Amino acid sequence: MKFFKSATVLAALPLVALAGAGLAQSAHAQAVSSGPVVAAGNTLLNISAEGKSARTPDLAVFNAGVTTQGKTAGEALTENAQRMTAVIAALKKAGIAERDIQTSNLSVNPVYGQPKRLPDGSFEQQDPVIIGYQATNQVSVRQRKLDQYGKVIDTLVSAGANQVNGPTFQIDSPDGALDEARLEAMKKARARADLYARAAGLRVVRVLSISENGGWAPPQPPVMFARAEKAMVQSASPVAAGELEMTVTVNVSYELAP
């Protein structure tokens, strides 16, 4: 019985080796044929081109919330909940839809006392002492009426918000702007391909492949309103939306022929 088992194993080895060789040859064939193929005597040209389009933003995203402190975590949270309820009510009253208000941060953290300074100027070495707690509740808000943005911010501060960060301006539906950028990028790529072809005494025969690096809109630097006080609110805060630039980069492969 041992002899037959050994013979079976030895007979199987060539089959395994052949199968492995077949897989290797198949993988090699796929690797060779994976890239663009040009006809004999022709040339492969790879072009990268960028297209841009500009739009006036129609959406402002900002964060608003309340930070409170108390001797206990419960005390800090209770006051925070009362003030945050007023802030959310003010948002809705200002015309912000519920779907455009989303909690982005809810946290409670201890507040530590400062170490005692000794006569020699150094600080007393001791374990940190908790002297209270700080509660923070923030919501992310999408403002669709940009002409009302400054007024909404002032309303929030009057309602008790002491943390307001933003805005980041966006385009609600960027597809149209991105398509314009794509068309411009493709026109630039073809013009550049024709230029290279003429310079080399060749002509563009066909497009072999097209890939896109994706659209991008540069982020807007945030306008910061931190720990604002009611007394500061005298008139609507001026806000300039400016213009957003959408950018798309395409990579195009062309076949050139004499």
Residue 228 forms part of a structural domain: no
- Same-domain check for residues 164 and 67: yes
- Same-domain check for residues 41 and 141: no
- Same-domain check for residues 63 and 145: yes
Over residues 204-230, mean pLDDT: 65
Residue 127 CA to residue 141 CA, distance in Å, equals 40
137: CATH: 3.30.70.2970
Q: What is the tens place of the pLDDT at every residue in 235-246?
A: 566 777 788 899
Q: Which residues pair with 252 in a beta bridge?
A: 47, 210
- Same-domain check for residues 106 and 135: yes
Confidence at residue 114, expressed as pLDDT on a 0 to 100 scale: 77
Question: Quick one: tokens of 141?
Answer: 């808000």
Q: Is residue 244 a contact partner of residue 60, using CB atoms and an 8 Å limit?
A: no
Quote the domain boundaries for residue 65: 59-119+126-170
The position carrying tokens 């076949």 is 255
DSSP 72: S
Q: What is the tens place of the pLDDT at every residue in 10-66?
A: 333 343 343 444 444 444 444 445 567 888 989 999 999 999 999 999 999 999 999
End-to-end CA distance of the chain: 72
Confidence at residue 235, expressed as pLDDT on a 0 to 100 scale: 55
Over residues 127-141, mean pLDDT: 92
Q: How far is CA 68 from the centre of its chain?
A: 30
Q: Is residue 216 a contact partner of residue 246, using CB atoms and an 8 Å limit?
A: yes
pTM > 0.75: yes or no: no
Confidence at residue 119, expressed as pLDDT on a 0 to 100 scale: 76
Over residues 158-184, mean pLDDT: 92
Residue 235 forms part of a structural domain: no
Confidence at residue 129, expressed as pLDDT on a 0 to 100 scale: 86
- Same-domain check for residues 83 and 114: yes
192: CATH: 3.30.110.170
- Same-domain check for residues 97 and 147: yes
Quote the number of domains for the chain. Answer: 2
Three-state secondary structure call for residue 68: strand
